[in-house]
Amino acid sequence: MEDSFKLLEERIHKAAQRLKDLSAETQALRGEVGQAKARAEKAEKALADVVARQGRGDEETQKAEAVARELASLKRERAEIRSRIEKLVGVLESL
């Protein structure tokens, strides 16, 4: 009987530690999402500026394409981070 309580106690401690770890990871990922959003917004703004001055030659076109690629990359990164957070939230809810 005492062994059962010890096992239960160990499981509770492990679950609590896992919860703390997941919570910390969730906070870190939320910070990353915030940073990715800020970078994406900056890239979108830069893209809009470049597009507004589109008629200024090949250099501007290359810049616009680079900004568009960076924007796409940031959006993929943001989606990946969002997916990771959703998975962590799912794990937290299952505890």
Confidence of residue 56 (pLDDT cuts 50, 70, 90): low
SS3 per-residue string spanning 52-90: HCHHHCHHHHHHHHHHHHHHHHHHHHHHHHHHHHHHHHH
pLDDT at 57 (0 to 100): 64
- What digits encode the pLDDT tens for the residues 11-33? 888 888 988 998 898 898 889 88
pLDDT at 61 (0 to 100): 76
